[in-house]
Chain A
Amino acid sequence: MTEPILEIDDLSISFSTRAGDIPAVMNFSAAIDPGQALGLVGESGCGKSTVALGVMRDLGANGRIVGGSIRFKGRELTTMGNADLRRIRGREIAMIYQEPMASLNPAMKVGRQLVEVPMIHEGASFATARGQALSILDAVRLPDPRRILDAYPHQLSGGQQQRIVIAMALMSKPALLILDEPTTALDVTVEAGIVDLVKDLGREFGTSMLFISHNLGLVLETCDRICVMYSGEAVETGPIVEVFDEMRHPYTQGLFRSIPLPGADKTTRPLIPIPGNFPLPHERPRGCNFGPRCEAYQAGRCDAGDVPMLAISPRHETRCLRAREIDWDAPPPGGKGQAASVPGDVVLSVREMDKTYSVGSSALFGGDRRVVKANESVSFEARESETLAIVGESGCGKSTLAKVLLGLETATRGTVALGNLQIGDAPVEARARGTVSSIQMVFQNPFDTLNPSHSIGGQIIRVLEKFGVGSSQAERETRMLELMDLVRLPRAFARRMPRQLSGGQKQRIGIARAFAGTPKVVVADEPVSALDVSVQAAVMDLLMDIQRESRTTMLFISHDLSIVRYISDRVMVMYLGHVVEIGSTAAVFAPPYHPYTEALLSAAPVADTSVRRKRIVLHGDIPSALDPPPGCPFQTRCPRKAQVPGTLCETDLPPLRRLSPDHAVRCHLDDAALAAMEPFIDRPAVPA
């Protein structure tokens, strides 16, 4: 048997703060064999990034390794001197971070930054280093390497930047590559390309990988082994398929039950959120850290003392005392089924809406003023009590659409009607109070959605004041407390400041604020994308419950297709300002697809071992809205362009073709080609 590249044994890391030492990682053990990839999964704050930084011995001034050992190729890293560490970092262990722009020096050309690596680590000459840089750019599949070497980082797209960072990490042919959420900042179709690349490179160069992610689907796709962390401890570790199919820790199981896998449905098979909150590092319970949130918790046993790792099979371990007692195949305890709500009348109707911005390079010197088309002839309707998902990657115009609906921008052309009222040309200042309160928004970033200077209660009362709810302060106070009940937060939170709340709790306040004036339409802009998996389910649940009771129309903007499939009744797919496909969720998620939808669907990783999906990786990046391609907006990346005869795609914008009463596609493909499409995944049999 070969020696592992990296062997972490009983590692403990602490951070010293004003409040004393806080253990961030406790008794963590893991090993990575040559050419293998280990996935490290867990929620934010569980210590997964700390482990990576510990391996790099880059814990900052406050962090300290307080116990255990890290052996890299048999050499002990925890006690290694700085000079030896420098030789290993970047050369034998390389790290790739989440934000590519933060890893690249914005003042240096890409080429300069790449050639530095072999010049520093191997003392190579500039010419050889440049040759290596060219070949590595080829390896990470960047077109036109020479042009890219001479570009500054800001001249490249996010996906290209991340490829450069990967290329830089690979320049010195490291034995171990640490990837810390390498694709979280990227769009789905770009992510798919990067993931493919990382997998191939691992195979090609024999690099071992430590892959840190919160996305279970992504880990399934890239890794051989998985290690699930919770609150500073590894709770379950084993071969990836075994852990996915036969999980033996209640936390792992809870994670899988709270993500929308194919087959989950909001009415019949709702998600089951993990109850409670993640414990703060200095408030960890005695015994099992997951105990207070665990269904299988047994007082006197689970809280008796530290729980050791327990071997389930030779390579599969779990930190659960009751791993052999729990019936792991038991169906989840009564997911509360809900009657599907019946959509009512049309509440919101958008017709042929255009939104253009004119940008001048220099207004003073009369530079050419160019027009950016953020939305082009967007038409759709949304009914009462219906959830319409708006899907697309960054720059597709979905946020502009939301701004027009809310009156932060006005439509350039076309109409937007809320009930019988035209609101497309009315900025929010020109709207009546009742109109303003009847279309509201839930914002994406929970850390930005509340004003940090005002108390929670005060902010909600201000909304009520603004919407004319209640006639006295006392009445508004009562209403505010009712809203706290509605979003299932303790009333005492009203006196707290936003910084005292967790991300999920802040998002609940954001929801309370949006529903304060009994709106007809709520636009939810990626309301859960910044939240941890286990919190996501609870917030979505809340959102749907409130919507069901108030019969509000919800426009759910998202890039996460698994969530969209779970939550929405109808889906609208946007690309470069155009609606390319619209229809009921069932119709959009089944063939025939628009080629872009097909690529989106196939790119999204699914955390289910039984799902086999066809992969379509799109090449290139989304074109700039300043310079959109002629004809079909998707023609530059479309894998099915060859199936359309002639140059139709390049010259004519396809019409929105109605395929069935509730399904329309903007594509030139003929009926035969559309009919020949296969479903993108083999749906697993839904267990009864």
Chain B
Amino acid sequence: MDPEFLGTGAIIGGTLLRFLPVWIGLAVVMGGSFVFRRRLAIYGQIYDSPIGITGLGLVLFWVLTAIFADQIALFDPYVQLRALQNKLPGAIDAETGRAFLFGGDALGRDVFSRMVYGSRSVMVIAPLATLFAYMVGIMLGLPAGFFGGWLDTLLSFLANLVLAFPVILLFYLLVTPEIRATAIPGTMAAVLFIFPVLFLLVFFWSRFRERPEVLWYYLAPILLVGGFVYLGLIGAWDPTGLIAMDANTLNIFLAVVFISSPTVFRIVRGLTLDIKTRDYVSAAQTRGERPWYIMMWEILPNARGPLIVDACLRIGYTTILLGTLGFFGLGVSPESPDWGSTINEGRKLLRVFVHPALPPALAIMSLVLGLNLLADGLREQSMKD
């Protein structure tokens, strides 16, 4: 029995309508930012560049899609409707009267809803993993560039070692049950997740160590909140159950942070080598500033331009990396709607049906393109100043 189908116009119209919360969100965020762009520093300057606006629009589109996924999706991404297996876009579910806007996949799930929900895992993991990689890269890259010597030699050697290891093999290793059973993931989590807490502590400690009365206003909350999140993330103590990631996600997360941080390390180290020759760094030294103050408050703020641009690109790489992992079925639950797995499933019937694999592929493409354009726009604007 064949279901009824929507016409092409109705599919396009219906899709646009489903994204209504996103359109409203885009209008509010970008319209508001455009009006106040002169007061928004580097973020506001993006609105002077057409490339930057395009990139920001694409990125915001997926951010808002992830936020409003429950409102946008028509179906539960896991529910299987046998009647709509491998049906072309526009097939209408007789029971609810709603359409599979982008058709159904081999198991009769809604491709559109799966694509929408797929944005969630990317939007959480990619930026967060990049942020963590930055914390690691900054905490190691600053001293390597600043002190040089054996510390630099050692850290650079380790970074090269990680970079030289084949990425996919490393992922396979990290997610194989034998390795997961060992203490390796736990240890990696304990080491990698300590860096953000360390970063914040050193950041404020170096600035306010001469003023103990202010220092503890900063350090106490960092220690409390940071310690709580840290213990939750490494799975040691999490009474609320909000923080701990499931074992799969945690492994992916660790793997991505581990792979990205050496590249960030090298960028930060290079920028540090350049900036430490400036007179204002000598001026800080001649007034007796400690090394970590110079690194955190004299060098790091002036490296922020290239670092922000690189962070955008890196979130894009991470998105692709997550897609690759999903494609190989690494570290994801079998039915998960993430884009990589969806593409892999669609691949199996690609000769007959193109529609299940195409939407997630286009989603990855548009998000990464958006991030790259955003990076270009930011670079262009920061050069004008």
Give the B-binding residues of A (Cβ under 8 A): 18, 406-408, 428-429, 431, 433, 436-437, 440-441, 443-445, 448-454, 463, 465-467, 499, 510, 513
Contacts A451-B301, A453-B301, A465-B211 hold; do A443 and B283 have CB atoms under 8 A apart? Answer: yes
B287 within 8 A of A: yes
B282 within 8 A of A: yes
Closest 7 CB pairs of A and B: A453-B301, A448-B279, A436-B288, A443-B279, A451-B280, A449-B279, A406-B286
B385: chain A residues at CB < 8 Å are: 499
- A175–B286 Cα distance when bound, in Å, is 52
B298 within 8 A of A: yes
A465: chain B residues at CB < 8 Å are: 210-211
| CB pair A437 B286 closer than 8 Å | no
Task: For chain B, residues 275 to 314, give those with C-beta under 8 angstroms from any C-beta of chain A.
Answer: 278-280, 282-290, 297-298, 301-302, 304
- A293–B77 Cα distance when bound, in Å, is 74
| CB pair B288 A453 closer than 8 Å | no
B301: chain A residues at CB < 8 Å are: 451, 453-454
A513: chain B residues at CB < 8 Å are: 283, 287
A452: chain B residues at CB < 8 Å are: 302
- A121–B48 Cα distance when bound, in Å, is 44
A-B contacts, 20 listed (Cβ < 8 Å): A406-B286, A407-B286, A408-B285, A408-B286, A428-B286, A429-B290, A436-B286, A437-B287, A440-B287, A441-B286, A443-B282, A444-B279, A449-B283, A450-B280, A451-B302, A452-B302, A453-B302, A466-B287, A466-B288, A466-B289
- A429–B283 Cα distance when bound, in Å, is 13
- A510–B284 Cα distance when bound, in Å, is 12
Task: For chain B, residues 332 to 385, give those with C-beta under 8 angstroms from any C-beta of chain A.
Answer: 384-385
B194 to chain A, nearest CB (A): 27
Instruction: Report the nearest A residue to B289, measured CB to CB.
Output: A466
B384: chain A residues at CB < 8 Å are: 18
19 more A-B contacts (CB under 8 A) besides A429-B288, A436-B286?
A: A406-B286, A407-B286, A408-B286, A428-B286, A428-B288, A436-B287, A437-B287, A440-B287, A441-B283, A443-B282, A445-B279, A448-B279, A449-B283, A450-B280, A451-B298, A451-B301, A465-B210, A499-B385, A513-B287
| CB pair A440 B210 closer than 8 Å | no
B297: chain A residues at CB < 8 Å are: 454
A378 to chain B, nearest CB (A): 20
B288: chain A residues at CB < 8 Å are: 428-429, 431, 433, 436, 466
- A429–B292 Cα distance when bound, in Å, is 13
B284: chain A residues at CB < 8 Å are: 451
Task: For chain B, residues 38 to 75, give those with C-beta under 8 angstroms from any C-beta of chain A.
Answer: 48
B211: chain A residues at CB < 8 Å are: 465
Please tell me which one of the listed residues B282, B287, B290 contacts residue A463 in the complex, with CB atoms under 8 A apart: B287
B280: chain A residues at CB < 8 Å are: 448-451
A463: chain B residues at CB < 8 Å are: 287
A436: chain B residues at CB < 8 Å are: 286-288
- A393–B77 Cα distance when bound, in Å, is 75
Mark each residue of chain B from 247 to 289: 1 if its CB lies under 8 Å from any CB of chain A, else 0.
0000000000000000000000000000000111011111111
Instruction: Report the nearest A residue to B304, measured CB to CB.
Output: A453
- A453–B297 Cα distance when bound, in Å, is 9
Highest count of chain A CB atoms <10 Å: which of B210, B278, B304, B384 = B278
B302: chain A residues at CB < 8 Å are: 451-453
- A440–B285 Cα distance when bound, in Å, is 11
- A465–B289 Cα distance when bound, in Å, is 11
Instruction: Report the nearest A residue to B280, measured CB to CB.
Output: A451
Instruction: Report the nearest A residue to B384, measured CB to CB.
Output: A18
B53 to chain A, nearest CB (A): 16
A168 to chain B, nearest CB (A): 31
| CB pair A466 B279 closer than 8 Å | no
B85 to chain A, nearest CB (A): 57
- A513–B290 Cα distance when bound, in Å, is 18
- A408–B286 Cα distance when bound, in Å, is 7
Highest count of chain A CB atoms <10 Å: which of B210, B278, B279, B298 = B279
- A444–B279 Cα distance when bound, in Å, is 8
B48: chain A residues at CB < 8 Å are: 18
A52 to chain B, nearest CB (A): 25
B218 to chain A, nearest CB (A): 15
B308 to chain A, nearest CB (A): 13
B286: chain A residues at CB < 8 Å are: 406-408, 428, 436, 440-441
Please tell me which one of the listed residues A407, A450, A454, A466 contacts residue B210 in the complex, with CB atoms under 8 A apart: A466
B287: chain A residues at CB < 8 Å are: 436-437, 440, 463, 466-467, 513
- A466–B290 Cα distance when bound, in Å, is 10
